[in-house]
Each structure stands twice: as C-alpha cells, then as structure tokens.
Amino acid sequence: MSNIIEVKSLVKKYDSLTAVEGISFEVKEGEIFGLLGPNGAGKTTTLEIMETLRDKTSGEVTICGLSLDKSPNEIKNIIGVQLQAAGYYPNLTLVELLNLFAGLYNVDVNTMEMLDLVDLKEKAKAKYKELSGGQKQRFSIATTLINSPKVIFLDEPTTGLDPQARRNLWDLVNNIQSKGTTVMLTTHYMDEAEFLCHRVGIIDKGKIITIDTPNNLIDHLIKKGFKRPKQVKEATLEDVFLDLTGKELRDE
C-alpha cells in the first residue's frame, strides 16, 4: 500500500508554547489511522494543519502527492473534514445544508442518498438544531463525504456520545473505509482505536511516541512483562450496559 499522507517534521509554535514539536508519520491508502493522545497533546492542531485550517511553523505535509504549501485549495477539494466543534446554520434542514455544501464543493449530490448513508433519511426535513448529539456527528460526517474525498479527517468523532451512538458511528466509519476512503481520526478512547484503527500513532506533548498496529503495540507491552493488576473478565461493564439497554440507537 502506498502512502496517501506524508507528514515530515511538522512544527507548530504559538507565542509561548510549542503545540507540535516536529512530528512525522505516514498514512497508507485505504487504512484507518488513529492519532491517539491525551487532551492538549497536539492532535487537533496536527489535524487542522493537515486540513489547511491552520498555518504551520515548519515541516512538510503531502496529501495525495499535493503539497500543502503549494496547493492548499486542491487539497481541500479531495479531503473531507469533520471538525471537533463545527456548526451549521441552525435553522436550515439537513437537505438544505447538504445542498449548501454541494454548492461549496461544486458537486451535484443526491441528498437523500447521502442522508441514507448516515442513517438520517427520516430526518431530512429536520433542522440541524433539532438533532441529537449522535445525529449531529453523523450529519457532520455526511458533509465530509459530499465531494467523494480520498481522505476524511474525523476529530474526536465519538466524544460525548452514548455507547449505542458510539458503536453506530464505528459501523459508519468502517463502512466508509470499506468503500475505499482513507480515514484519519483522533480519539482518546483506546477501545475505539483498538476496534477501528489499522494503525495508530500515540502523541503526547507535541511529539509522536510510537506508531504501529494496535495488536503489535499490545504484544510489545506484554513482551516487556506487563501484567494487568486485575484479572480480566470475559466481559466489561460496557458489555453489560449494552446487553441490558440494547444496541439500538436512542437518539431518534
């Protein structure tokens, strides 16, 4: 698999603090790549630089062979962006908003098909402000797909969602990836990364500490002699919760 994204020695300095300290990584075409890290580690900054929303201090970013410095607008055309905090005209219906983004990307879309893809067909006439948290996230993902992007960026897509909505969103991300779209996401939920990501990069204090597949990282830790202090049971509390409340979405 070839690299669809290449980031080399990326640095972002604000007045007094360095948010990103020379990180480098590659994302392979067709994979789901996760950038993991605690709050304030520099995940969002890195993502927003790649999304052309923030200037970098130094370093190089290439997406689909396009240089961020030379062709930011061409990059915007081939990526889909879901922001951690994004807003839409609150009084517009989902169909109207999708038409707006179709105009912004200069493409023609079948809005109902798009909404069907994210399971929001019956909410077509609903206004954005009337949606639940999970629905808003799914709609936000729908807007990232409008221009049939080669890569989509999801910034903490499941933060604040209940377990049902989270699982539903995982299925959606897997579904998007299965159609050939590369996905790069950030999260601070390790179960999410383990379930979704083919490879993860762990970032802390603006530096990448390690990059590998979740499986390799776990094996590596076990090889060093790591043992969980408590015997792991066959199920987790989340499994109990989902068993008791069901997996169907609650936000409709």
Partner 1 sequence: MERKYNQIRAMLSISKASLKSITRNPSAVVFNLLFPLIFIIVFGFIGGGGFSVDLAVEEKSDMENPVIQSLQNIKTIKLKTGIPDEELKTKLEKGQIDGVIGITKGFVDNKISYNVNLKTSSASMDRGSVIKMILNDIVDKINLSKINIDVPLARLNEQIVEGRKYKTIDFILPGQLGFSLLSAGIFGTAFVFINLRQTFVLKRFFATPIKRMYIILGESFARLIFSIFSAVIIIGIGNFVFGFTLVHGFVTFLNMILLSIIALIVFLGFGFLVSGIAKNEHAVPPIANLITLPQFLLSGTFFPISNFPSWLQPVAKVLPLTYLNEAMRKIAFEGTSLFGVGNDILILLGWGVVIYLLAAKTFKWE
Report d(CA 184, CA 161) in Å as an integer.
19
Does 95 contact partner 1 by CB under 8 A?
no
Does 3 contact partner 1 by CB under 8 A?
no
Pattern of binders to partner 1 over 43-62, x per CB under 8 A?
--------xxx---------
Residue among 11, 64, 83, 126 that touches partner 1 (CB under 8 A): 83
Residue linked to tokens 């989509």: 152
Distances (CA, A) of 97 to 90, 104, 207: 10, 10, 37
Nearer of residues 2 and 91 to partner 1, judged by Cβ:
91
Pattern of binders to partner 1 over 7-46, x per CB under 8 A?
----------------------------------------
Selected range binding partner 1 among 35-43, 87-95, 223-231, 239-247, rule: CB under 8 A: 87-95
Q: How far is the CB of 87 from partner 1 (least distance, A)?
A: 3
Residue numbers 185-244 binding partner 1 by CB under 8 A: none
Residue 226 class from Cβ within 10 Å (0-12 exposed, 13-18 middle, 19+ buried)?
A: exposed
Nearer of residues 133 and 163 to partner 1, judged by Cβ:
133
Q: How far is the CB of 63 from partner 1 (least distance, A)?
A: 13
Q: How far is the CB of 96 from partner 1 (least distance, A)?
A: 6
222 phi and psi, to 5 degrees? Answer: -65, -40
Distances (CA, A) of 6 to 13, 62, 154: 20, 5, 17
Pairing of strands 32-36, 18-28: unpaired
Report d(CA 129, CA 114) in Å as an integer.
19
Does 124 contact partner 1 by CB under 8 A?
no
Distances (CA, A) of 127 to 15, 33, 157, 169: 40, 32, 20, 21
Does 105 contact partner 1 by CB under 8 A?
yes
Residue numbers 135-174 binding partner 1 by CB under 8 A: 143
Contact 218, 193 (CB under 8 A): no
Q: Which residues bind partner 1 (CB under 8 A)?
A: 51-53, 73-74, 76-77, 79, 81, 83, 85-92, 96-97, 99-106, 143
